[in-house]
Amino acid sequence: MRRPAGEPGTLMFDIKWIRANADLFDQNLKRRGMAPLTGELLALDDERKAKVTAMNEAQEKRNALSKQIGQAKAQGDDARAEQIMAEVGSLKTEVQVFEEAARNLTEELNLKLSFLPNLLHADVPDGTEEADNVTIRTHLEPAKFAFAPKEHFEIGEALGQMDFEAAARMAGSRFVVLNGQLARLERALGQFMLDLHTREHGFTEVSAPLLVREQALFGTGQLPKFSEDAFETRDGRWLIPTSEVSLTNLVREQSLDQQDLPLRFTSLTPCFRSEAGSAGRDTRGMLRQHQFSKVEMVVVTTPDKSEQEQQFMLGCAEKVLQLLEIPYRVVILCSGDMGATMRRTYDIEAWLPGQNAYREISSVSMAGDYQARRMNTRYRNNEGKLDYVHTLNGSGIAVGRALIAVMENYQNEDGTVTIPEMLRPYMGGLERIG
């Protein structure tokens, strides 16, 4: 793994905070199902600081003597210059030895810190698996069907507009080909969501790279820990697993002005995931694909606004389903089911009649300063001080899964699919598919 991004000496996690809150930090790891680490980390940091101090002292001596050489030469006193040169020669190796030791220790510490999970928000419930997530609220009662509702792939294949076999022939499993009205419906969903967030919710639409450097994935936290989940190209770039990566990294290595915050970005992009750990799960249909389309929301804000921004974003994502009149519930993820890079995550799960289950369709998370530290993104507050920004991200919402939700919730007994009112303008006024 290459040296993490950021200025030399920048640490990926606030070691001073760990030092001051050792118990809290280890408790946090425990809730994440990990062993305590403060002892190891602080010992390493002590060692590192000792070497840095020793290096600084040696440099101080060297600089003072070197300065004298310059002065002697300026006065034409070459003999004295020679004498001091001989004296300072041994200091050179001393500086190098300490410098190398300090660098190695900093790298070692930073590597360890870069693997640490984020701190959990106080609201996050304890738990080890999906079943421990807590439902916050539900919206709309699932509709009762007068017939046995089908799964989306049954509907799509019967319509002749969803072709997994054609996709498999050219790309392998976990890909799909949509055509005709279903392809247009996917496009309509994306347009509808983008229009909603840009017109009603104040987000700026962004078109950004889908192929990014390793540092960008490091910045948002997908690397170094989760490299097997994404696709790497032959030239060392990566296909984004979510446009959270592109949108969040818009501010990498920047110092922002407080008055410009919050920044709110949205984007409709394909997402690429290897689904390496998901073999055998959701193999039928287009619920879990290597490539899918998603509208993403990213907010960059000051620490004090992080809390309210997450609620706002959650509301923006819910609004999509409310306008589409699809039943859903909001859950808060438990400590064991959360992503390592996040402090608190709400999932929105849409009702899928064909599966007779709620399935994740959006995830809205706060990252705190975790990503900001990795990207080295700060802001200058009104007092002129620099501090790390807070970042948040959320799907607003997953287009592929929204397509599934629409198809299953709006299916008719004759195999047709009614088009939700809100989408009809995007479908040329079409009222049903099939």
Partner RNA sequence: GGAGAGAUGGCCGAGUGGUCGAAGGCGCACGCCUGGAAAGUGUGUAGGCGGUGUUCCCGUCUCGAGGGUUCGAAUCCCUCUCUCUCCGCCA
Binding site for RNA (CB under 7 A): 3, 7-11, 15-16, 49, 52-53, 55-57, 59-60, 62-67, 69-71, 73-74, 81, 85, 88-89, 91-92, 95, 103, 384-386
Residue 398 CB, shortest distance to RNA, in Å, is: 28
Nearest to RNA of 72, 162 (CB atom): 72
Partners of residue 347 on adjacent β-strands: 331, 363
Residue 372 CB, shortest distance to RNA, in Å, is: 12
Can you tell me the distance from the alpha carbon of 416 to that of 128, in angstroms, rounded to the nearest whole number? 41
**Is 388:373 a contact under the CB 8 Å cutoff?**
yes
Catalytic: which of 274, 360, 424, 432? 360
Nearest to RNA of 98, 328 (CB atom): 98
- Please report, as a single letter, which amino acid is at residue 116: L
Q: Calculate the alpha carbon distances from 281 to 19, 174, 286, 347 in Å.
A: 42, 11, 12, 19
Residue 105 CB, shortest distance to RNA, in Å, is: 11
Nearest to RNA of 65, 101 (CB atom): 65
Nearest to RNA of 16, 169 (CB atom): 16
Residue 21 CB, shortest distance to RNA, in Å, is: 16
Residue 11 CB, shortest distance to RNA, in Å, is: 6
- Does the annotation count 213 as an active-site position? no
Nearest to RNA of 89, 425 (CB atom): 89
Residue 421: which residues within 8 A CB-CB, separation 6 or more? Answer: 325
**Is 297:266 a contact under the CB 8 Å cutoff?**
yes
Residue 368 CB, shortest distance to RNA, in Å, is: 17
Catalytic: which of 103, 187, 237, 288? 288
- Does the annotation count 273 as an active-site position? yes
Can you tell me the distance from the alpha carbon of 295 to that of 395, in angstroms, rounded to the nearest whole number? 6
**DSSP label of 14:** -
Catalytic: which of 243, 378, 401, 408? 401
Can you tell me the distance from the alpha carbon of 113 to that of 3, in angstroms, rounded to the nearest whole number? 12
Catalytic: which of 363, 365, 374, 408? 363
For tokens 């009205």, the residue is: 181
No. of helices (H) and no. of strands (E), the chain:
12, 17
Structure tokens that stand for 316 in this block: 């923006």
- Does the annotation count 288 as an active-site position? yes
Can you tell me the distance from the alpha carbon of 391 to that of 365, in angstroms, rounded to the nearest whole number? 9
- Does the annotation count 187 as an active-site position? no
- Report phi then psi at 324, rounded to 5: -85, -5
Nearest to RNA of 76, 429 (CB atom): 76
Catalytic: which of 31, 48, 252, 273? 273
Rounded to 10 degrees, the C-alpha dihedral 50/221/195/417 comes to -160
Q: How far apart are the first and last CA of the chain?
A: 52
Can you tell me the distance from the alpha carbon of 322 to that of 302, in angstroms, rounded to the nearest whole number? 29
Residue 266 CB, shortest distance to RNA, in Å, is: 24
Nearest to RNA of 261, 334 (CB atom): 261
Annotated catalytic sites, by residue?
273, 288, 360, 363, 401
